[in-house]
């Protein structure tokens, strides 16, 4: 599958079908998930309706981590096998991944104020998630600052791969250190089965939305590269004609 999509033309054919499928799936899953979250899930005994923040927070946290893991994997493929589109794919994941991380931190702060009486604590889970955001920003800044895109790809790829060490820290931080942050939400203490439906729907919906964004960002990158190449070729032809 990886080698099949290495060619931009084959990727564009794949995207022609995959993009609308992921887009429609995201729209439907998120709409149904929000309906379940607002109207068909129980209030928490302690936090009442504030618990509905978790229906946004938990899926966003999952996608922010999954996106970085996928970005690191794509960077590894580009680093080792020189896959033509792997760096483009990794770069296309960065901004959506960072956006989901911001959403995770923002909703986590709102939940923290409700549940613990504070917007922020420098505990392991919150701090490592903030580091994740800085890794996304650092990755994108390398691409923005370094003009030599081959060199930028190598440095950004190293950041993505080394930064993936932070993912298990985020995952297991609540087990390793004393923390205000609760453990696993799904199946955790006080978790009701009816709460699972909106969480699973929104996880899938966020995942499809992330895939839709990534595919379209890759397509946009391919198109911009094609236009730049055409412009360069036209410029070269004009110079030859002048000569």
Query: Could you report the per-residue pLDDT of 116-146, keeping only the tens digit for each?
Result: 888 888 888 999 999 999 999 999 999 999 9
pTM: 0.88
pLDDT at 203 over 90: yes
Distances (CA, A) of 28 to 31, 72, 201, 202, 209: 5, 29, 9, 10, 10
**pLDDT band at residue 234 using 50, 70 and 90 as cut-offs:** low
Average pLDDT, the chain: 87
Strand partners, 44: 48
Instruction: Output phi, psi for 105, to 5 deg.
Output: -65, -40
What structural domains and CATH numbers belong to the chain?
15-238 (1.20.120)
Query: Which pLDDT tens digit goes with each residue over 1-22?
Result: 555 566 788 899 999 999 999 9
Q: Which of 26-35, 130-139, 176-185, 225-234 has the lowest mean pLDDT?
A: 176-185
Q: What number is the average pLDDT over the span 94-111?
A: 96
> What pLDDT is stored for residue 213 in this prediction?
97
Q: H helices within the chain, ranges in order?
A: 8-39, 54-81, 86-115, 124-145, 149-163, 166-176, 193-242
> What pLDDT is stored for residue 152 in this prediction?
95
Token pair of 184 as six digits: 């696993």
**pLDDT band at residue 191 using 50, 70 and 90 as cut-offs:** low
Query: Which pLDDT tens digit goes with each residue over 34-91?
Result: 999 988 887 777 777 778 898 999 999 999 999 999 999 999 999 998 887 899 999 9
- Surface-to-core class of residue 231, CB atoms within 10 Å of its CB (0-12 exposed, 13-18 middle, 19+ buried): exposed
Residue 48, classed as helix, strand or coil, is strand
Q: Which of 46-55, 148-157, 163-172, 228-237 has the lowest mean pLDDT?
A: 228-237
> What pLDDT is stored for residue 193 in this prediction?
65
> What pLDDT is stored for residue 184 in this prediction?
61
pLDDT at 235 over 60: no
**pLDDT band at residue 185 using 50, 70 and 90 as cut-offs:** low
pLDDT at 232 over 80: no
**pLDDT band at residue 161 using 50, 70 and 90 as cut-offs:** very high
Q: What number is the average pLDDT over the span 85-112?
A: 95
Q: Which of 111-120, 132-141, 204-213 has the lowest mean pLDDT?
A: 111-120
């Amino acid at each position: 599958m990886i080698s099949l999509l290495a060619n931009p033309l084959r990727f564009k054919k794949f995207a022609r079908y995959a993009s609308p499928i992921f887009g429609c799936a995201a729209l439907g899953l998120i709409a149904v998930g929000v309906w379940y979250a607002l109207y068909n899930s129980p209030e928490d005994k302690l936090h009442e309706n504030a618990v509905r923040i978790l229906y946004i927070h938990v899926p966003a946290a999952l996608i922010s981590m999954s996106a970085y893991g996928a970005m690191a994997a794509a960077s590894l493929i580009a680093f080792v096998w020189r896959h033509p589109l792997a760096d483009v794919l990794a770069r296309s994941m960065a901004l959506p991944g960072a956006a989901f991380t911001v959403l995770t931190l923002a909703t986590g702060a709102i939940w923290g104020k409700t549940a613990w009486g504070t917007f922020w604590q420098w505990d392991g889970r919150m701090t490592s998630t903030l580091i994740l955001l800085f890794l996304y920003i650092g990755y994108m800044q390398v691409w923005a600052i370094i003009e030599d895109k081959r060199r930028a790809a190598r440095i950004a790829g190293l950041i993505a791969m080394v930064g993936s060490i932070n993912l298990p820290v985020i995952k297991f931080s609540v087990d390793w250190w004393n923390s205000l942050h609760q453990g696993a939400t799904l199946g955790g203490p006080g978790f009701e089965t009816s709460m699972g439906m909106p969480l699973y729907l929104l996880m899938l919906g966020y995942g499809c939305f992330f895939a839709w964004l990534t595919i379209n960002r890759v397509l946009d990158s391919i198109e911009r590269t094609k236009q730049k190449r055409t412009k360069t070729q036209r410029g070269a032809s004009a110079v030859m004609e002048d000569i």
